[in-house]
A and B are shown apart, each in its own frame.
Chain A
Amino acid sequence: MKTFLKLLAVCAIVLAAYTLYPMSLPQQTAEPPPLEEKIGALTMDKFIEIGKDIFDGKRGGFGGCVLCHDPKLGRAPDLVNMNSVSEKRLKDPRYKGKSKSVEEYLRESMIEPAAFVVAGFGVAGTNDTQSPMMNISQYLKPWEVNATIAYLQTKDGGEATVQPPTGEESPGGQAGAAGGVAAAPAASARTPQEFFQKYGCGACHKHEKGGIAGAVATDLTHVGTAAMKRKPGTPAKDYIRESILNPTAFIVPGQAPIMPPGYGEKMLASEIEMIVVFLVDSK
Chain B
Amino acid sequence: MQKKRFAVGVLLILILLHLVPLIPVSADLALAQEGQAVASAEGAPLKATFSAPKLKPEDYPSFGWVSSREAVWVAAQLHLFFGAFVLAVPIFVLVFEGIGITTKDERYDHIAHEIMKVSMTAFSFTALSGGLLTFFLITLYPDFTKYLMRLFQPTVIFYILAFIAEALFCYTYYYSWDALRYGTRKWIHLTLGLLLNVSGMTILFIANAWTGFMMTPVGVDAAGTPVSDTVWAVIRNPLWNPLNLHRFIANLAYGGAIVGAYAAYKFLSSATPEEKAHYDWMGYTANLIAISTLLPLPFAGYILMAEIYAYSQQMGITAMGGIFAWLFIVQAVLIGAIFLGANYYLWCGMEKISGAERYTAAIKYIGAVIIVAFLVWLTPHTIIMTAMEMMKIGGSHSALLGPLGIMPAKNTAANTLILFTFLSFFLYRRANKAPTVPWVKTGTIIMTAFFAIAWINIILLGIYGYLVPTAYKVRSSVPQVISTLSVIFVLIVLDIIMHRKAKSLGPIQWGKMPPRSQYALAILAVSFTWLMALMGYIRSGIRQHWHIYTIMRDASPDAYTPAIAHAVLISTIVTVIFLALVIFCFWIAQISTVKQAPIPQIAGASESHGRKHEDLS
Q: Which residues of A approach B to under 8 Å, CB–CB?
A: 3-4, 6-7, 10-11, 14-15, 18-19, 21-23, 25-33, 35, 61-63, 67-68, 74-75, 120, 124, 132-134, 138-139, 231, 246, 248-251, 253, 255-257
Contact = CB atoms under 8 A, between A and B. Distances in A.
Nearest to B323: A30
Interface stretch (B235-243, B417-425, B498-506, B521-529): B521-529
B1 interface: no
A111 to B, nearest CB: 12
A266 B319 CA distance: 29
Given A22-B330, A35-B56, A138-B222, A251 B313 contact: no
Interface of B: 56-57, 222, 264-265, 268-269, 312-314, 317-318, 321-323, 326-327, 330, 333-334, 383-384, 387, 390-391, 394-396, 399, 469-472, 474-475, 519, 522-523, 526-527, 530, 544-545, 550, 553-555, 559-569, 571-572, 575-576, 579
12 contacts: A3-B268, A6-B268, A15-B576, A22-B564, A29-B563, A35-B57, A61-B545, A124-B472, A133-B313, A249-B395, A251-B394, A257-B390
Top-8 shortest CB links A-B: A32-B545, A30-B561, A27-B563, A26-B384, A32-B559, A250-B395, A138-B550, A22-B568
A257 to B, nearest CB: 5
A28 B383 CA distance: 13
B545 A63 contact: no
Contacts of A133: 313
A246 B396 contact: yes
B10 to A, nearest CB: 42
Given A120-B469, A134-B312, A257-B391, A7 B264 contact: yes
A146 to B, nearest CB: 19
B555 to A, nearest CB: 6
A256 B390 CA distance: 10
A69 B582 CA distance: 49
Contact of A26 (B56, B322, B326, B562): B326
A19 B527 contact: no
A15 B575 contact: yes
A7 B265 CA distance: 8
A26 B475 CA distance: 32
Nearest to B573: A19
A19 B526 contact: no
A248 B472 CA distance: 29
B330 A124 contact: no
A22 B326 contact: yes
A30 B321 CA distance: 14
A30, A31, A120, A139, most chain B CB atoms within 10 A: A30
B523 A68 contact: no
B268 A68 contact: no
A63 B314 contact: yes
A189 to B, nearest CB: 28
A248 B330 contact: no
A42 to B, nearest CB: 24
Contacts of A124: 471-472, 474-475
Contact of B530 (A18, A27, A67): A18
Contacts of A22: 326-327, 330, 564-565, 567-568
A151 B18 CA distance: 53
B33 to A, nearest CB: 16
A231 B567 CA distance: 39
Contact of B268 (A7, A61, A120, A138): A7
Nearest to A121: B471
Contacts of A11: 522-523, 526, 579
Contact of A28 (B269, B323, B387): B323
Contacts of B394: 250-251, 253
Contacts of B522: 7, 10-11
Given A11-B526, A22-B330, A251-B391, A68 B313 contact: yes
A134 B313 contact: yes
Given A10-B523, A63-B318, A139-B550, 12 more contacts: A3-B265, A3-B268, A3-B269, A22-B326, A28-B563, A32-B544, A33-B545, A124-B471, A132-B313, A231-B399, A248-B390, A248-B396
A18 B575 CA distance: 11
Given A4-B269, A15-B575, A35-B553, A67 B321 contact: yes
Given A29-B560, A63-B314, A15 B555 contact: no
B563 to A, nearest CB: 4
A162 B519 CA distance: 67
B586 to A, nearest CB: 10
A19 B572 contact: yes
B390 A139 contact: no
Contacts of A35: 56-57, 553, 555
A61 B523 CA distance: 40
Contacts of A30: 323, 544, 560-561
B457 to A, nearest CB: 21
B553 to A, nearest CB: 7
Nearest to A2: B269
A152 to B, nearest CB: 18
Contacts of B264: 7
A19 B569 CA distance: 7
B560 A256 contact: no
A250 B394 CA distance: 6
Contacts of B569: 19, 23
Query: Which of B222, B312, B470, B565 has the largest number of chain A CB atoms within 10 A?
Result: B565
A27 B560 contact: no
A231 B395 CA distance: 11
A61 to B, nearest CB: 7
A74 B472 CA distance: 13
Contacts of A231: 399
B217 to A, nearest CB: 11
Nearest to A138: B550
Given A3-B269, A18-B530, A139-B550, A31 B560 contact: yes
A32 B568 contact: no
B103 to A, nearest CB: 32
B322 to A, nearest CB: 6
Nearest to B564: A22
Interface centre among A18, A19, A31 (most CB of B within 10 A): A18
A14 B521 CA distance: 12
Nearest to B521: A7
A61 B545 CA distance: 8
A270 B384 CA distance: 30
A68 B309 CA distance: 13
A106 B563 CA distance: 35
B572 A257 contact: no
Given A3-B265, A15-B575, A26-B384, A32 B560 contact: yes
Nearest to B312: A134
A25 B560 contact: no
B395 A248 contact: yes
A19 B550 contact: no
Contacts of A255: 391
Contacts of A27: 563-565
A170 to B, nearest CB: 15
A59 B396 CA distance: 25
A124 B476 CA distance: 13
Given A14-B526, A15-B530, A22-B327, A67 B317 contact: yes
B389 to A, nearest CB: 10
Contacts of A15: 526, 530, 572, 575-576
Contacts of A28: 323, 384, 563-564
A62 B579 contact: no
A25 B550 contact: no
